[in-house]
């Protein structure tokens, strides 16, 4: 059986195929907990988790919080507005103070790439990256991959098209690392202005023809459009973006009959995705949210350093 020896989960780039599969398999065993009448196991009883969020987040934060609570951990939420960061304290000082309060796991979201990595070097606590800048969002990618595997029964050989703002997307990057390691074929599709330099070196097919990206896909992962990108002249208007890259049922006529529609949320309804598609038969968007809790339970459990104990009986 594979092992987990890492203090932190910072990204999928540095994980091996075996480590990723180990997380997914561990998540599998936690999924059932959320379906019980009493949604709690004692696996992390006595452990303390801090949700340390420097960017607004609803679902990721709630997902980590519920995951921690269902593992019986104690959890505290610190968000940027209520924290001491506004008083001019540095990230490291704040982190060391949190650590001095004997915290086991810090879940961190930050607008700067590398902030969780810096934190992980500075503290003994485990650090879980809940999204850093445009760099990585490993638990989102893990729950995306988990959902694909659940629905399709495999990952090897599947065609996954990621649509939208690739340049600014940490979700895209983590998905690319993870899916490539597990043998899926990734296509990225979006406006040329929202493609990062040398993106093809990440091992993806690149296209700006949406039809191409849809036709072969087993999965469409549709990214949220950051509306402020328009003011940076990265595309001319929301209207044009929607016309060119928005997914509606008309464009899905080219799709395979069993295509999966995914979105990391929150959706701009009617912009990158029309409501009938978001709520339609191909959509697994809410399954992603449900699976997110199981995946985050697995990650919290693994970094807490008790992979040898039985997670459901104690």
Partner 1 sequence: MKLLIKKGRVIDPKNEIDEHLDILIEKGKVLEVRKSIKENGARIIDAEGKIVSPALVDMHTHIREPGREDEETILTGSRSATKGGFGSITVMPNTQPPIDNQGVAEFIYSEARKVDLVNLYPVGAITKGLGGKELSEIGALAKSGVVAISDDGMPVMNSHIMRRVLEYSKMYGIVVISHCEDLELSAKGVMNEGYISTVLGFKGMPNESESIMVSRDIHLARLTGARLHIAHVSTRESINLIREAKEENLNITAETCPHYFTLSDEAVLNFDTNTKVKPPLRTKDDIQAIKEALKDGTIDAISTDHAPHTEAEKDVEYDLAPFGIIGLETALGISYMELVKTGFLSLIGLIRKMSYIPAMILNLHNKGHLSVGADADILIFNPAVNWEVKKDILESKSKNTPFLGWTLPAKPLDLIVGGRVIMKEGKITRNERNY
Question: Looking at 35, 87, 102, 192, which residue is catalytic?
Answer: 87
Question: Where in 171-230 is the site for partner 1 (CB under 8 A)?
Answer: 173, 196-199, 201-202
Catalytic residue list contains 137? yes
Q: Tell me how far apart the alpha carbons of residues 178 and 136 are, in angstroms, rounded to a whole number.
A: 11
Extract the runs of DSSP E, i.e. beta strands, from 123-242.
126-132, 159-163, 185-189, 205-207, 219-222
Nearest to 59 by CA among 300, 288, 311: 288
Q: How does DSSP classify residue 273?
A: B
Question: Looking at 137, 173, 181, 229, which residue is catalytic?
Answer: 137
Catalytic residue list contains 229? no
Please state the closest distance from residue 17 (CB atom) to partner 1, in A: 19
Q: Tell me how far apart the alpha carbons of residues 99 and 209 are, in angstroms, rounded to a whole number.
A: 49
**Bridge partners (DSSP) listed for residue 107:** 51, 128
Scanning 68-76, 85-93, 145-153, 260-268 for contacts with partner 1 by CB under 8 A, the matching segment is 85-93
Tokens standing for residue 213: 């990206």
Select the residue interacting with partner 1 from 2, 21, 80, 118 (CB under 8 A).
118
Q: Tell me how far apart the alpha carbons of residues 280 and 194 are, in angstroms, rounded to a whole number.
A: 27
Please state the closest distance from residue 206 (CB atom) to partner 1, in A: 12
Select the residue interacting with partner 1 from 76, 79, 80, 114 (CB under 8 A).
114
- Using CB under 8 A as the binding rule, whether residue 13 contacts partner 1 is answered as yes
- Using CB under 8 A as the binding rule, whether residue 90 contacts partner 1 is answered as yes
The 8 Å CB, 24+ separation contacts for 85-91 are: 85/54, 91/115, 91/118, 91/119
- Using CB under 8 A as the binding rule, whether residue 97 contacts partner 1 is answered as no
Question: Looking at 6, 7, 31, 59, which residue is catalytic?
Answer: 59
Please state the closest distance from residue 132 (CB atom) to partner 1, in A: 8
Residues interacting with partner 1, by CB under 8 A? Answer: 13, 90-92, 110-115, 117-118, 132-136, 168, 170, 173, 196-199, 201-202
Question: Which residues belong to the active site?
Answer: 59-60, 87, 109, 137
């Amino acid at each position: 059986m594979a092992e987990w020896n890492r203090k932190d989960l910072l990204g999928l780039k540095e994980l091996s195929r075996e480590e990723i599969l180990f997380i997914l398999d561990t998540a599998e065993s936690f999924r059932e907990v959320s379906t019980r009448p009493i949604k709690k196991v004692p696996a992390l009883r006595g452990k303390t988790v801090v949700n340390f969020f420097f960017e607004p987040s609803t679902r990721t934060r709630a997902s980590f919080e519920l995951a921690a609570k269902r593992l019986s951990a104690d959890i505290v939420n610190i968000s940027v507005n209520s924290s001491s960061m506004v008083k001019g304290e540095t990230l490291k000082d704040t982190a060391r103070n949190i650590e001095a309060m004997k915290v086991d796991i810090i879940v961190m979201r930050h607008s700067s790439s590398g902030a969780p990595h810096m934190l992980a070097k500075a503290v003994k606590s485990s650090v879980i990256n809940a999204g850093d800048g445009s760099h990585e969002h490993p638990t989102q990618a893990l729950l995306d991959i988990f959902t694909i595997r659940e629905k399709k029964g495999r990952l090897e050989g599947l065609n996954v098209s990621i649509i939208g703002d690739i340049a600014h997307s940490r979700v895209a990057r983590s998905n690319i690392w993870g899916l490539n390691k597990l043998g899926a074929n990734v296509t990225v599709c979006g406006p040329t202005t929202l493609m990062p330099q040398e993106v093809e070196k990440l091992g993806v097919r690149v296209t700006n023809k949406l039809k191409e990206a849809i036709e072969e896909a087993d999965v469409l992962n549709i990214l949220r459009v950051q509306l402020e990108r328009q003011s940076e002249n990265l595309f001319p208007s929301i209207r044009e973006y929607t016309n060119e890259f928005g997914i509606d049922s008309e464009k899905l006529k080219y799709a395979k009959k069993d295509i999966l529609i995914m979105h990391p949320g929150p959706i701009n309804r009617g912009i990158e995705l029309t409501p009938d598609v978001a709520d339609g038969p191909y959509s697994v968007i809410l399954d992603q949210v449900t699976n997110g809790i199981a995946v985050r339970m697995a990650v919290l459990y693994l970094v807490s350093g008790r992979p040898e104990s039985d997670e459901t009986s104690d």
